[in-house]
Structure 1
Amino acid sequence: MHRLAPEKEASPLFLIYRRLFFHGRPLPPLLLLRRSFSPSPDHDPVPGILAALRRCATARGAKQVHARLVMACFPGENSLLFRLVELRDRAYASSLFSRLSRPDSFAFNVMIRGSATAWADYPAALDLHRRLLRSGERPDRYTFPFVLAAAGHLLWPLHGGAVHSSTFKSGHQSDAHTQHSLITMYARCGRILCARQVFDELLVRDSVSWNSLISGYSRLGLAGDAVEAFRRMTASGLEPDDMTLVSAAAACGDLGDLALGQRLEGLAAARGADLNSFLGCALVSMYGRCGDLDAARRVFDGMSSKHLITWNAMISGYSQNGLAREAIAVFKLMQEAGTEPNEVTMVTVLSACAAAGDVALGQWVDAVACERKLAGDVYVGTALVDMHAKCGNLCRAVQVFEGMRDRNVVSWNAMISALALHGRAGEALELFARMREARAARPNDITFVAVLTACVHAGLVAEGRRWFGEMAAAFGVAPQMEHYACMVDLLARAGRVEEAWEFMAAMPEKPDAVVLGALLAACRTCKNVLVGERVVRRLLELEPGNSGNYVISSKMYAGCRRWEESARIRGLMRERGVAKTPGCSWIQVAGQAHEFRSGDALHPDSVELHRVLLALFKEMKLHGYAPDPNLP
């Protein structure tokens, strides 16, 4: 067999063939091509050419083999088509397929598989399936799995159900691969009962069928069912593989089932699983969601090769558990490792920046997002709005919001909340009006918390009453405890303490500590001891260990010069062993965060700071400032 020539040394005959092929012109007679190429009449080059095709590692080599097949007068289009799909050369494979005068079921199956897997063009896969049926060819056990996969990815359950029906007509309803694909398709489309019905009808349940069911439950958020299916699988004597453990770990994270999660890691270690794969990432994510950050970091540090998803899982674990600085530290390690962040990374890091007040890093992420044109992305843009607003840069938050291409309800909520918390109540309510007029997103419960918060800060009692009343009537949003807390706070801050108490008493549920705390603060400000005493009794029953309740109660009595009651509350606090939580604040200077606690003199510049504060206090008094003893 002759060795394949490089492209630059291609024979004139091959160049003529290729030009005619791609221009759709009739090919020269194959006999002429055979005679022009064959070195001897007794030599059959076909076996060697097919062997060369199997060895091809590039699409360019496959094209050269194609020329050899034509010259050898061998109809090897199906073999070539199969190899081209494996090499992911869609253009050449599609061109070859379109020139088949009558493609058989094998050719259709190869193209359907390529469209549903290598090229991820799911509509094309379903279109090829329709063409197969119209051509008179019969689908077989190699057709259905990939057609069902395409329907599942497109979330087309009706199409998938029609394909399911056709499996009975063709007699392939009992094929194992088809059944597994049916379970996966129905689960992806949210038809878990249909998926379970297919599973229950299986005569033999192997690990693949169990994995399809467990993965389906986990993907739909049915974590309890996923864990139960996992336990039934192991009870049946089947050993879980990596895919089983990944799905089960996701379910454990949803449930917060740390004990089962630890068992999964033990099973992975017992079977010598490679934690550098998605399994390691799943364990990091599971431990993070269960709150065991030490275990998550142990698995993370033990991975020699870390994928972007793994970095995101570790950063997210810290961020979701309130450890913003640790999340930022891992992000910096990720940068040092040379891993490029994606949208998920940016959203998570921005959330950590907002929590830690890391303005410098937040601005850097903002710059990167703008450079990569991601600031207009609905998730990144919303995270930027939230971060800038919480770090005090409201102007930049508004700028990002107005520059977003698309906005969902979370985006609107973030901006309305930002304006409300910055005391820009009028602008918050105007933006709420824009949201209603745009009709791009329907207001939800969080939207109305933001709107009522704006009313609280501006003292707009009538406006607050209006929107509280219209929540359910006009928007179908049932008031929750947060909305009642806003209304109590609104009435109390307006000096209507008795009315706030009556409103709270009429609530369908018992008020929680947030509602009672808002009313107690108002009682102290308004010096309404009568209502305040009722609130104190309830609060100390609900939260006997919260020092803030004792402090505010004591100050309420002190503000009314009821010194004995004030001392009694302080004594009760000592008697119960409740320690006052010191106030804490921080500021970032030159990229470094400085934290201060009430009564803390541990800062290296503490003496100088106190000297400056004393000087400022004296200057304020010179300008007529008088301290208010009623402030917390």
Structure 2
Amino acid sequence: MVSNFLSNTFKIQAIINKALMESKDIDNAMHLFSSITNKSNYMYTVMFKGLITNKMAEKVLDLFDEMKIEPDHFTLSTLFNACAVLNNNRAMKIGKKLLAEMPENYRNDNITSTAAIDMLMKFGDVESAERIFRSMKTKNIITYGAMVKGYVGTEMFDKALDLFEQIDIELDDVTYTIAFNCCAKLCNDRAMKIGKELLAKMPENYRNHNITSTSAIDMLMKFGDVESAERIFRSIKAKSTNIYGALMNGYNLNGESWKCFKVFEEMNEKDIIPDEIGWNILIGACSKSGMLHHCQYIVNQIPLNIQNKIRTQTALIDMWVNIDFRY
């Protein structure tokens, strides 16, 4: 009897999961979910996650209002995620109420507490997030990452660096990325020291993570250390559009816009097409160079759908204003 119940439960849940995650058939998933008489926390968690993935976090709170059972730590974590995504008055009220009523033993569950910290940081309630963080007996890198990301999101960059100096466990690629972004924002002596120390001890395998390396290049360019940024760029085996964009943007920042055109040639040779941001960086390089032939060469290659973007049109107007039509 029990085995049949469990078997049917997992079958139903698999159908709901498939409808939400693969077919994005929300109505069918909701109808099937509402037909289940005895819903478990596991069912609610899967349903909530699917709705969040499909950008329907408000429906998560609607379903929560109808819940007849107490949420367990997995369901709570997902509810905190939904509240963080929404970040409106209703979400703040529900999220803080859930947190106040959360059983004490859940506070040392890293997943639940990390979700709560992320939610509070999104609400701008830094003090409450810090209290939860301090109360946790065992912290992992994801918990530290949530705190640091929260500090960066609320523009408390010095506090983020304070926390980096306290971390006594191995950083993951996400935390390195956040650290480099933080140091790039501050761009003072302390940030330069910490940023370069972190970069020096970063594991070699992270250098081929495009997001992490993009952040490192951006940081070094903000520091004015063009040579080190170029070294990292050359060491990356598979370069994404973002990597090229970070390098070109750095050249513009450091008065070496002419190098952007060499980078663009390399992209052409490798059949890498710039995204909207990349094209705008190239337009910026044209504007700084003031050379008509560069401008005409780049503009002739910008796809029409990118040219029609308001941001691109504004950049093009600025570029043509700065052109010396004698060259």
Sort the TM-score into its range (normalised by shorter chain). Answer: 0.7 to 0.9
More helix by share: 2
**1:313 correspondence with 2:143:** no
Over residues 452-473 of structure 1, what are the superposed CA-to-partner deviations in whole Å (9 max), with x where a residue is unaligned?
A: 1111111134533553454333
Query: Shift of residue 385 of structure 1?
Result: 0.8
Over residues 81-106 of structure 1, what are the superposed CA-to-partner deviations in whole Å (9 max), with x where a residue is unaligned?
A: xxxxxxxxxxxxxxxxxxxxxxxxxx
1:612 equivalent in structure 2:
none
* One-letter identity of the residue aligned with 1:245: L
State the alpha-carbon separation in 2 of the partners of residues 256 and 461 from structure 1: 48
Alignment of 1:346-495 (within 5 A): 346-357=176-187, 358-369=191-202, 371-439=203-271, 441-464=272-295, 466-468=297-299, 470-473=301-304, 476-494=305-323
Query: Shift of residue 300 of structure 1?
Result: 1.9
Over residues 376-416 of structure 1, what are the superposed CA-to-partner deviations in whole Å (9 max), with x where a residue is unaligned?
A: 32222211111111110011101101101222221111112
Query: Shift of residue 177 of structure 1?
Result: 1.5
State the alpha-carbon separation in 2 of the partners of residues 392 and 243 from structure 1: 45
Contact 2:57 2:86 (8 Å CA) reproduced: no
Contact 1:249 1:261 (8 Å CA) reproduced: no
Unaligned stretches of 5+ residues in structure 1: 1-139, 146-171, 497-632
Over residues 307-331 of structure 1, what are the superposed CA-to-partner deviations in whole Å (9 max), with x where a residue is unaligned?
A: 2111000101112332222111111
Residue 287 of structure 1, aligned match among 113, 120, 124: 120
**1:325 correspondence with 2:325:** no
Contact 2:60 2:79 (8 Å CA) reproduced: no
Contact 1:318 1:327 (8 Å CA) reproduced: yes
Query: Shift of residue 203 of structure 1?
Result: 3.4
Over residues 103-147 of structure 1, what are the superposed CA-to-partner deviations in whole Å (9 max), with x where a residue is unaligned?
A: xxxxxxxxxxxxxxxxxxxxxxxxxxxxxxxxxxxxx979xx9xx
State the alpha-carbon separation in 1 of the partners of residues 258 and 11 from structure 2: 59
Alignment of 1:160-199 (within 5 A): 175-189=8-22, 191-193=23-25, 196-199=27-30
Query: Shift of residue 254 of structure 1?
Result: 2.4
**What is the count of residue pairs matched by the alignment?**
315
State the alpha-carbon separation in 2 of the partners of residues 200 and 478 from structure 1: 44
SS in 2 for 1:192: coil
State the alpha-carbon separation in 1 of the partners of residues 122 and 102 from structure 2: 24
Over residues 349-373 of structure 1, what are the superposed CA-to-partner deviations in whole Å (9 max), with x where a residue is unaligned?
A: 011111111111111111111x544
State the alpha-carbon separation in 1 of the partners of residues 82 and 307 from structure 2: 30
**1:217 correspondence with 2:51:** yes
State the alpha-carbon separation in 1 of the partners of residues 312 and 133 from structure 2: 41
State the alpha-carbon separation in 1 of the partners of residues 4 and 267 from structure 2: 51
1:58 equivalent in structure 2:
none
1:345 equivalent in structure 2:
175
Over residues 196-220 of structure 1, what are the superposed CA-to-partner deviations in whole Å (9 max), with x where a residue is unaligned?
A: 52442243251332221111122x2
Contact 1:397 1:415 (8 Å CA) reproduced: yes
Contact 2:60 2:82 (8 Å CA) reproduced: no
Over residues 462-513 of structure 1, what are the superposed CA-to-partner deviations in whole Å (9 max), with x where a residue is unaligned?
A: 533553454333xx425433323322322333489xxxxxxxxxxxxxxxxx
Q: 1:468 to 1:290 in 2, by over 3 A?
A: farther
Query: Shift of residue 226 of structure 1?
Result: 2.5
Q: Which has the larger radius of gyration?
A: 1
SS in 2 for 1:181: helix
SS in 2 for 1:339: coil
* One-letter identity of the residue aligned with 1:463: H
Q: 1:258 to 1:288 in 2, by over 3 A?
A: farther
Alignment of 1:12-31 (within 5 A): none
SS in 2 for 1:471: coil
Give me the CA root mean square deviation.
2.6
